[in-house]
């Protein structure tokens, strides 16, 4: 199948490109590198041992996207392009709504004009908001998001659902990721956030490699077993495999569907530090700080639906996630720079 990865040079897109290419699919990457490096492309090509078709473009710009869609005629789009920093979205909400919503609208318009009928979308556990019981199930009510980033995901899901409702030939698969971490086993590609990392795992990895002095744990007075927040961390290559299954599902099923992608097993911040220290042999300096606004004490996925319908299950352990993160970080102490 010919698959266009919108935002394919990013963290999840690059790993998904490898997974799909290695399963024989033809990959097209479109990215404006607003949160990624062009060097990613060489690394992916090195792993898969063949060249990729790559376009540098702003996906929200229809003038740029139309000719790409017409020229490449993909069978399926995977829409990963978006701004994703929660704190930044609170500071610059308009930028987040503009970029995230417009990329989605432009892709849908271009799909219509080029008769592309399948799209897989990167959503997030954040759409479950603040009031649902755990574990999260796809049928639960969405909304009550604590930040504009979350609302963009909520709105984009709605836009895609309406599009599928209007065009019965369309296949829309929403993937709600939990907490993706880890890296490709080769150590060639991995997570390389710009500036100070917002997320736990890259912060731990950069502390281990000496780029950060110490980690601050955001709160140790939560009602959890060790007082720190618990999350459902999932290996990025398991997530990449979820996209493969979703693309195959979209080929054979029309309509709108939603799947959680998580392991169903939460780990606390202290457990993650411990697991990383074991995998790397490096002691992580940390101190306890205040709670971070908007953080929930704990949540994890019920991913039975993905298992039953997509035939997907996360298979990699927390040890694999920490080992592969460390392998990437120690081989690339300053990321792709």
Can you tell me which of 216, 253, 317, 331 binds ligand UFG, judged by CB under 6 A?
Answer: 216
> Which span (18-26, 213-221, 243-251, 313-321) binds ligand UFG, by CB under 6 A?
213-221
Task: Give the integer Cα–Cα distance in Å for 247 and 237.
Answer: 15
Looking at the DSSP assignment, which residues form a beta bridge with residue 259? 175
Among 3, 20, 74, 103, binds ligand NAD (CB under 6 A): 103
- Catalytic hit among 149, 154, 222, 299: 149
Answer with the entry of ligand UFG, ligand NAD, none that 138 interacts with (C-beta below 5 to 8 A by kind).
none
Residue 203, contacted partner among ligand NAD, ligand UFG, none, CB below 5-8 A by kind:
ligand UFG
DSSP 39-78: HHHHHHHHHHTS--EEEE--TT-HHHHHHHHHHH--SEEE
Whole-Å CA distances, 9 to 76, 78, 202, 269, 294: 17, 12, 18, 28, 29
52 vs 80 by CB, closer to ligand NAD: 80
Which residue lies nearest ligand UFG, judged by its C-beta? Answer: 229
Using the rule CB under 6 A, give the single segment among 29-37, 216-224, 241-249, 306-314 that binds ligand UFG. 216-224
The helix/strand/coil state of 279 is: helix
Secondary structure tally for the chain: helices H, strands E: 11, 13
Binding mask 39-58 for ligand NAD (x = CB under 6 A): -------------------x
Helix (H/G/I), strand (E/B), else coil: 232: coil
Cβ-based nearer residue to ligand NAD, 32 or 228:
32
d(CA 234, CA 252): 27
Given a contact cutoff of 8 angstroms between Cβ atoms, the answer to whether 308 and 184 are in contact is: no
Binding residues for ligand UFG (CB under 6 A): 84, 86, 124-126, 179, 198-200, 203, 215-218, 229, 231, 269, 292, 295
Binding residues for ligand NAD (CB under 6 A): 7, 9-13, 31-36, 58-60, 80-82, 84, 99, 103, 122, 124, 177, 180
């Amino acid at each position: 199948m010919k698959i266009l990865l919108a935002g394919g040079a990013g963290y999840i897109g690059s790993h998904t490109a490898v997974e799909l290419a290695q399963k024989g699919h033809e990959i097209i990457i479109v990215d404006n590198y607003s949160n990624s490096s062009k060097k990613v492309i060489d690394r992916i090509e090195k792993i898969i041992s063949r060249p990729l078709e790559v376009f540098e473009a702003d996906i929200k710009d229809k003038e740029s996207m139309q000719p790409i869609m017409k020229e490449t005629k993909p069978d399926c789009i995977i829409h990963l392009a978006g701004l994703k920093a929660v704190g930044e979205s609170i500071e610059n909400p308009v930028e987040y709504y503009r970029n995230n919503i417009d990329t989605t609208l432009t892709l849908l318009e271009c799909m219509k004009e080029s008769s592309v009928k399948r799209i897989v979308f990167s959503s997030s556990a954040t759409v479950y908001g603040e009031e649902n019981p755990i574990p999260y199930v796809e049928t639960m009510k969405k909304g009550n998001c604590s930040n504009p980033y979350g609302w963009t995901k909520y709105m984009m899901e709605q836009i895609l659902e309406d599009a599928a409702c209007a065009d019965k030939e369309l296949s829309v698969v929403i993937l709600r990721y939990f907490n993706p971490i880890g890296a490709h086993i080769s150590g060639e590609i991995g997570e390389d956030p710009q500036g100070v990392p917002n997320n736990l795992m890259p912060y731990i990895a950069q502390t281990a490699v000496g780029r950060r002095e110490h980690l601050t744990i955001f709160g140790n007075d939560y009602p959890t077993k060790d007082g720190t927040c618990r999350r459902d961390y999932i290996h990025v290559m398991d997530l990449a495999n979820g996209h493969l299954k979703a693309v195959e599902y979209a080929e054979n099923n029309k309509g709108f569907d939603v799947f959680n992608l998580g392991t169903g097993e939460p780990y606390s911040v202290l457990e993650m530090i411990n697991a990383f220290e074991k995998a790397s042999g490096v002691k992580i300096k940390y101190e306890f700080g205040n709670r971070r606004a908007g953080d929930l004490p704990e949540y994890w996925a019920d991913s039975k639906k993905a298992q039953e319908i997509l035939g997907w299950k996360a298979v990699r352990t927390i040890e694999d996630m920490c080992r592969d993160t460390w392998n990437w970080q120690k081989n690339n102490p300053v990321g792709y720079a």
